[in-house]
Chains A and B, each alone.
Chain A
Amino acid sequence: MENTNEMQLIFDSRSSNESFARVTVAAFMTSLNPTVEEVSDVKTAVSEAVTNAIIHGYENEVHDIFIRCRTLERSLYIEIEDKGKGIEDVEAAMEPLFTTKPDLDRSGMGFSFMEAFMDELKVESEPGKGTVVRMKKIIGKGRKLWTVQSL
């Protein structure tokens, strides 16, 4: 298929890898010519999902986190998966300010930020099996298309 590109990333669930994960996804999306704002949106969303996997999915144990990215036309698709403890009630978890760990200064804004900064957000989770966060971001939405003519 034309205009598609894919990449996969597997890394340890260490908090030091959070910046690695979001910077890698940001680098991958550059082929879509995103604005600085769009890159920031995606970086924040990736950071939220990866942080969730580390703190809640694996509860600070070190296991694998999987990121799968795909670009198709002007859209970026991201899947972030952990094989951790899963979420009992996904709907409740996605409510703003909901958190199971208020003692750790969790703001409960993770899913709200993902929802606000991305165009689509789906969360699939099974207790004991893990969680997959699927997100989509349309790049250049509402922006005039710049056509570059080949010389």
Chain B
Amino acid sequence: MKYQVQENCLTIFLPKELDHHNAEEIRREADYVIERSHIRYIIFDFEETKFCDSSGIGVIMGRYKRIYMLGGEVCAVHTNERMKKMLTMSGVTKIMQIYEEEN
């Protein structure tokens, strides 16, 4: 998992394909970092992500639950049209803000 920690904010650079196989690793490593670095905010960066399925949605929902319990927030950036559609369809957009690219 590629990630960056700035104070209590964790940015996760999601892989090209976010499926069950990749989701497992992100789930494990993200939870470790959340605990160790006292994370309150997570930014999911979809810059490289071309494919995502319900397992990817599951990872986001799972991290949201954890962070929400800790009183924090999650958001998404660099989502392409396909990813926006998937996130909207699954209802994740109700709990997670998608930020448009800042130019």
Known contacts: A40-B82, A116-B89. The answer to whether A109 contacts B54 by CB under 8 A is yes
Distance (Å) between the CB of B93 and the closest chain A CB? 13
Q: Chain B's nearest CB lies how many Å from the CB of A61?
A: 15
- A128 and B31 alpha carbons, distance in the complex (Å): 35
A48 touches B21 (CB 8 A): no
Closest CB in chain A relative to B82 CB, distance in Å: 6
A6: shortest Cβ distance to chain B, in Å?
Answer: 25
Cα A110 to Cα B86 with chains together (Å): 12
Task: Contact check, A109 vs B57: say whether CB atoms are below 8 A apart.
Answer: yes
Q: A interface, by DSSP: helix, strand, loop or mixed?
A: helix
Residues in A whose Cβ lies below 8 Å from that of B17? 19
Instruction: Please measure, in the bound complex, the distance between the C-alpha atom of A19 and the C-alpha atom of B61, giving whole angstroms.
Output: 22
Q: Does chain B have a CB within 8 A of A82? A: no
- Please tell me which one of the listed residues B21, B51, B86, B90 contacts residue A15 in the complex, with CB atoms under 8 A apart: B21
B78 to chain A, nearest CB (A): 17
On chain B, the residues within 8 Å of A48 by CB distance are: 53-54
Indicate the size class of the contact surface on chain A: 20 to 34
Decide yes or no whether B24 CB sits under 8 A from chain A. Answer: yes
Interface residues of A in 90-114 (CB under 8 A from B): 104-110, 112-113
Closest CB in chain B relative to A36 CB, distance in Å: 9
Could you say which residues of chain A place their CB within 8 Å of the CB of B53?
A: 44, 47-48, 51, 110, 113
Least CB separation from A16: chain B residue = B21
Chain A window 32-70, contacts with chain B (Cβ cutoff 8 Å), 1 for yes, 0 for no:
000001001001100110010011000000000000000
**B residues bordering A, Cβ < 8 Å?**
17, 19-21, 23-24, 27, 51-55, 57-59, 61-62, 82, 86, 89-90
